[in-house]
Amino acid sequence: MHFTEPVYRNPYWPTFPLLQVTQGCTHNRCKFCTMYKDVRFRPQPMELIEDDLKELASIAPHAKTIQLLSANPLVMTYNKFRPILEKINEYLPEIEYIYTQTRVSDLKNKTVEELESLKELGLREISLGVESGDDWTLKRVNKGYTSQDIIEQCAKLTDAGIDFWMSFLNGVAGKEHSMDHAINSAEIFSQCDPMLVGTGGLTLFPGTPLLEEAQKGEFTPLTEKEMLIELKTFVEHLTCDCRFITHHTVSASLSGPNFLDRKDEIITILNNEIEHGDMGRYAEIRRNKQSL
Ligand code: SF4
């Protein structure tokens, strides 16, 4: 198999089989991310994709799912992406669910009809690393799109019948803008109505512009308690009935289906954590994190 490091796969999706169809990230400018800093973006040559599919056909001929890598494969035009899905179906004829992650802006160059046609070839779930629905925050961390873009592109996925995930990056707005980030994100996410909302907490990794800004006093990170208050505010304002998952540092499990049925329970757990949680231990867990 042909993979370019770093290989990030969604751990909440089957992590086998994987197929690299692009390497790196076309954007590579989000202020909290160094994941693909040293990797030049390029589409994987079709010969390598076909080599990998031949290998997968020999070891997993009955595969029903496949996860496509890397950061944003859908940046490719419809005319370049469709043949990849056709090849997957040729070599793995029982495939039913194709998953990939991508950027919101990658959907702009595709019509609903094109997305419908990709769905017919198996593209069933897309994860969008949205991070915020608040325009000030999106600009502040250089995401490269606006809340209006998020609404418009997610509506296309809904119209095409493709399920999607949205992620909320707890803490990324810093102290001054924390509540706007939480409330406006929850409103935009609720409007988009994704099948899944995921949340993770900001860790300032070495080499990120946001860490440099924090060291210069230009960005004020949240304390662990403030992170929990922001997460609780986000949850309080989220009104879509999604699956909710979090890899927050708090020990209590907040993840599961039927968010609206569990919302009060999640808020109760977060209130308890805010009052009684071991913030020193949560800070320690965050310091040991290797990735968001
Ligand atoms: S967060 Fe995602 S879109 Fe932003 S630079 Fe990192 S990989 Fe690219």
**Ligand 1 geometric centre to CA of 172 (Å):** 14
CATH number assigned to the domain comprising residue 260 = 3.20.20.70
Give me the phi and psi of 202, to 5 degrees please.
-65, 130
CA distance 24 to 37: 8
What CA–CA distances, in Å, run from 175 to 89, 90, 121, 166, 179?
48, 51, 44, 23, 9
Q: Which of 28, 34, 107 is the pocket-test mutation for ligand 1 (most atoms within 8 Å of CB)? A: 28
pLDDT at 268 exceeding the cut of 80? yes
Q: Ligand 1 pocket: which of 5, 27, 70, 75 to mutate (most atoms <8 Å of CB)?
A: 27
pLDDT at 13: 87
Mean pLDDT, residues 63-81 taken together: 97
In a domain, 199, yes or no: yes
Residue 244: is its pLDDT beyond 90?
yes
The residue-averaged pLDDT of 71-85 equals 97
Q: How far is the CA of 90 from the centre of ligand 1 (A)?
A: 31
Tell me, yes or no, whether 2 lies in a domain.
no
Percent of the chain beyond pLDDT 70?
99
* Domain count across the chain: 1
Closest CA to 149 of 133, 127, 172: 133
Query: Is residue 12 assigned to a domain?
Result: no
Measured from the Cα of 29, ligand 1's closest atom is 5
Domain contains 88: yes
Beta-bridge partners for 135: none
Judged by average pLDDT, the poorest of 110-114, 117-121, 280-284 is 280-284
Which pLDDT band holds residue 247 (cuts at 50, 70, 90)?
Answer: confident
CB-CB neighbours of 35 under 10 Å: 18
Q: Model pTM?
A: 0.93
What are φ and ψ of residue 73, in 5° steps? Answer: -60, -30
246 contacts 227 by C-beta, under 8 angstroms: no
Q: What pLDDT score was predicted for residue 144?
A: 96
Question: Cβ atoms within 10 A of the Cβ of 11, count?
Answer: 8
Q: What is the mean pLDDT of residues 197-211?
A: 93
Under a CB-based contact definition with an 8 Å cutoff, are residues 21 and 44 in contact?
yes
The pLDDT value given to residue 252:
66
Among residues 101, 98, 49, 40, the alpha carbon closest in space to that of 75 is found at: 101
Q: How far is the CA of 198 from the centre of ligand 1 (A)?
A: 16
Residue 58 belongs to a domain = yes
**pLDDT computed for residue 292 by the predictor:** 66
Query: Is 86 part of any domain?
Result: yes
Specify the 3-state DSSP secondary structure of 101. strand
Paired tokens of 46: 């079709």
**Cα(26) to centroid of ligand 1, in Å?**
8
- The 10 Å Cβ neighbour count of residue 62 is 9
> 121 C-alpha to center of ligand 1: Å?
26
Nearest residue by C-alpha to atom 5 in ligand 1: 28
> What are the pocket residues of ligand 1 if the criterion is a CB atom closer than 6 Å to any ligand atom?
25, 27-30, 33, 35-36, 71, 103, 129
Mutational test site, ligand 1, from 10, 22, 29, 33, max ligand atoms within 8 Å of CB: 33
Query: Which of residues 89 and 279 earns the better pLDDT score?
Result: 89
Give the pLDDT confidence score for residue 128 in this predicted structure: 97
Q: Which atom of ligand 1 is nearest to the CA of 26?
A: 8
Cis peptide before 132 (omega within 30 of 0): no
Residue 99 reports pLDDT greater than 80? yes
35 alpha carbon to ligand 1 midpoint, in Å?
Answer: 7
Asked whether residue 50 is domain-assigned, the answer is yes
283 falls in which pLDDT band (50, 70, 90)? confident
Nearest atom of ligand 1 to the alpha carbon of 27? 8
Mean pLDDT of the chain: 95
Residue nearest ligand 1's atom 4 by CA? 30
Enter the DSSP assignment of 219. Answer: S
Please list the residues that pair with 23 across neighbouring strands.
Answer: 42
3 in a domain, yes or no? no
- What is the residue-wise DSSP string for 153-180? HHHHHHHHT-EEEEEEEETTTTTTTHHH
Dihedral-angle region of residue 15 (phi above 0 means left; psi in -120 to 50 means alpha; beta otherwise): alpha
Whether the per-residue pLDDT at 166 is higher than 70: the answer is yes
The per-residue pLDDT for 68 is: 98
Q: What is the C-alpha to C-alpha distance for residues 71 and 3, in angstroms, rounded to an integer?
A: 13
Tens of pLDDT, residue by residue over 15-58, are 899 999 999 999 999 999 999 999 999 999 999 999 999 999 99
Q: 250: CA distance to ligand 1 center in Å?
A: 25
The whole domain housing 82 covers: 18-287
How confident is the model at residue 90, as a pLDDT?
A: 98
27 CA distance to ligand 1 centroid (A)?
6
